[in-house]
A and B are shown apart, each in its own frame.
Chain A
Amino acid sequence: MFAAEFLEPAEDVGGPAQPLLEARRLTKHFIRGSRLFAGKRAVVRAVDDVSFSIVKGEVLSVVGESGCGKSTLARLLIGLIEPNRGEIIFDGELVREALTLRVLRRRVQMVFQDSYASLNPRITIEETIAFGPKVNGAGNATACKIARDLLAKVGLEPNDFAGRYPHELSGGQRQRVNIARALALAPRLVILDEAVSALDKSVEAQVLNLLADLREQLGLTYLFISHDLDVVSFFSDRVMVMYLGEIVEIGTAYALFQETRHPYTQALLAAMPSSDPERRTAKPPITGDPPSPIAPPSGCRFHPRCAYAEAVCSVKAPQLGPIAAGHAVACHMAQAGSGHSRAGQPLQRQSLNA
C-alpha cells in the first residue's frame, strides 16, 4: 500500500498547457576565495539572468562547454543551491514559497554523471536506492521493495544485483543504478546531468533506449544536459545552448540543427569531428578555449571569438529574442535594427572541410 503510494508521481496541477517548470531570471554568482579577507574578490557569474520553461512530457536538452553554467543550472533547479535572484515555478507553484523544498524533492530528481563518486562505495546498491524512500517516510520493507522493483525496471536482476557494491558494477550498470535511484521518489521531472557522457558507445545506446522507455512508461519529462550534439539531436524535442552563464539560442531540435542562427551554435556543430575520412575538418571553427566565467567580456559574451563580431557586439549585450515560433536567439544578427550590418539575415553555412 505504501509502496504504491511511493511509486505514484504527484498529480498534474496545471494541465498540459502549463509548463512543468518555469525559470525566471535565475542568477547565481559564486564568490571565489575567502569572504572574510576580501580585497578584490573574484565573482564567478555561473548563471546570469536565465529564463526558460520546460513543457510537460518533453525532452529539453542543455548544451554547452565548460563554464557555461549548465551544471549550476541543474543544481539550482533541483534545489541544491539557492539562486541569488530569480524564481523557479513548478507546475504553477512558486518554489520556496507555495512549494517547499521538501515537496520539490519529490517532483524533481537528478541522474548524475557516472563516476565512482556518484554512488556511495560503502553501501549496497539496494540501500542506495532505498535511501530516498526511507528518508521520506517509507518503512524498511517498503523501501526495499521499491528498490527491487526499480532494479528490475532498469534491467538489473534484483536477486543478483541488490546486494552488490558499486565497485562490482560496470559503468553501464552503475548508470542504471543512478537512474533507479532518481526514480525512487517517483519524480515528474528528471534532470540528466551528462548521464551518458562517460559511457562506452554501445552501453550509451542501451541506456538511451532505457531512458526513452522509462519516459513513455512513467510519463516523465527530461532535462538532458550533454555536450554530445549527435545524441542531443537524436534524443531531444527542444534544445537550449548556453554560453558563459547565458542562453544564446533555444528552439526545437530541428530548428537548432537545420536553421541555426547563433554563431556559437554553428561553431559547436562544426566542431564535431567529421566521421568521413574523405572530408576531414581543415580548420577548427573557433580558436582558443572557452573563457572563464569570472570576468566575462563586455557586451555580447561571445564576441571575442565570433567570426561575425562588429563594434556593436562589444558594446551592447543582445537580448534573447524570438525569431520564429518556438525559436529564440540572443544575437545582434538576428534582430533587425540592432546596429549589426548583417541584422535580419540568416547565417551562412560555414564550409570547413578539406
Chain B
Amino acid sequence: MSAVSTEFGIAAPAIRAGYWSGVRRRLARDRVSIVCAAILLAIVLAAIFAPYLGLADPYLGSMIRRLKPIGTPGYPLGTDELGRDMLSRLIYGGRLSLLIGLTPVALAFVIGGMLGILAGYVGGLVNQCIMRTADIFYAFPSVLLAIAISGALGAGIVNSLLSLTIVFIPPILRIAESVTTSVRTLDFVDAARSSGASAFTIIRVHILGNVLGPIFVYATSLISVCMILGAGLSFLGLGTKPPEPEWGLMLNTLRTAIYINPGVAALPGAMIFIVSIAFNLLSDGLRSALDVRG
C-alpha cells in the first residue's frame, strides 16, 4: 500500500487537510449526493413545518369527494378512500414514516455500535457472548422478526419502533465488531497500549475516529430497509393505527382503491420509494467520500 502513494514523492503538500475536511470536500463535489440530500431535506422540512404550509386538514374527509384523481382543482394529488386530501396526508404522513424509518436505525447505531466496538476491542469471552447472542437474532429474517416482536408487544408506534430497533442492532453490531477488530491489530493501537492508556481512552482517541465512518455508512444504508419494514408493520396493522396518516398505513387502506384510482393508490408507495432511493444514494456517496485514503 505505501508503495503506491510514496511512489508519487510526497514531501510537503500545499493544502493541509484532515480526513474529515477531505470527506466534506469530496461530498460537496458529488452531484448525486447533493441532489439526494436536497430532496431529503425538502421532505423533512415539509414534514416538520407541515402545520404552517397552509394544507388542508388531513383528517377531514368527505364521502362525496372520495378517490378524486390527481390534478382535481383544490386537491392537487387527489383524495383518498375517505375523501381526505392526499397531498396533506402525504406530507403529514412523512412525520410518522420518517420517524419510524430513522429512529430505530439511530438507536441501533448507538447501541449496536457500542456493543460491537466493545466486543471487537475486548475480544475473548466477552466477544463470543455478544456475537453469539447477536447471531441468534440475526438468524431470523428481519421481516418475521419485526412482526414477531411487534405482535408480542402489541400494536402501536412505540412498540413498532422498539421492535425495529431490536431487528437492526445485530447487523450494525456485526459491522462494528468486524471493523474494530481490524483496526485493533494495527500498530498505532499497540503503541497507544504501550503508553499505558486505559481501554476507554484508546477507544475514544484511536478507535472511534477510524471506525465510525464505515459503521455510519452501513447504518444509513439500512434506513430505507427500516422505512419499508415500518411501512410493512403498519400495513399489517401492527404499527400506526388509523386515522393517523402514515405511508405504510395509507398503502393498506388504499389497497382496495387500486382498480378505481391506481394513481392515487400508488402515491404513498412512490413516497417510500423516493425517500429510500435518496437515502441509499446518499449512503453510497458517503461511502465513496470516506473510502479514499487520506
Contacts and interface: CB of A to CB of B under 8 A. Distances in A.
A169 B10 contact: yes
Contact of B194 (A79, A120, A122, A169): A79
Contacts of A102: 196
Interface in B187-224: 187-188, 190-198, 201, 205-206, 209-210
A124 B21 CA distance: 13
B71 interface: no
Contact of B11 (A114, A127, A170, A178): A170
B16 interface: yes
A329 to B, nearest CB: 32
B73 interface: no
Interface string A94-137: 00000001100110011011111111111110011001100110
A113 B187 contact: yes
A103 to B, nearest CB: 9
Interface stretch (A3-11, A159-167, A337-345): A159-167
Given A117-B188, A118-B188, A170-B6, A136 B19 contact: no
B190 A80 contact: yes
B18 A165 contact: yes
A171 B2 contact: yes
A208 B205 CA distance: 31
Contact of B186 (A78, A117, A198): A117
Contacts, number: 98
A181 B191 contact: yes
B13 interface: yes
Contacts of B16: 163-164, 168
A185 interface: yes
B294 A112 contact: no
A38 interface: no
B197 A165 contact: no
Nearest to A109: B194
A171 B188 contact: no
Nearest to A164: B16
A115 B10 CA distance: 14
B195 A131 contact: yes
A123 B209 contact: yes
Contacts of B188: 112, 117-120, 128
Contact of A136 (B11, B17, B196): B196
Interface residues of A, number: 45
Given A36-B128, A112-B187, A113-B187, A122 B197 contact: no
A78 B195 CA distance: 10
B72 interface: no
Contacts of B193: 80
Interface string B14-26: 0011110000000
A109 B294 CA distance: 28
A292 B196 CA distance: 32
Contacts of B190: 75, 80, 110, 112
Nearest to A182: B191
B195 A105 contact: yes
B210 A122 contact: yes
A132 B195 contact: yes
Contacts of A80: 190, 193-194
B5 A167 contact: yes
Contact of A135 (B10, B201, B209, B293): B201
Contact of A115 (B2, B192, B206): B2
Interface string B218-254: 0000000000000000000000000000000000000
Given A113-B187, A117-B187, A119-B188, A105 B194 contact: yes
A80 B194 CA distance: 6
Given A105-B195, A116-B1, A170-B10, 5 more contacts: A120-B192, A120-B209, A123-B205, A167-B294, A198-B2
Interface of A: 36, 75, 78-80, 101-102, 105-106, 109-110, 112-124, 127-128, 131-132, 135-136, 160, 163-171, 178, 181, 184-185, 198
Interface of B: 1-2, 5-6, 10-13, 16-19, 128, 186-188, 190-198, 201, 205-206, 209-210, 293-294
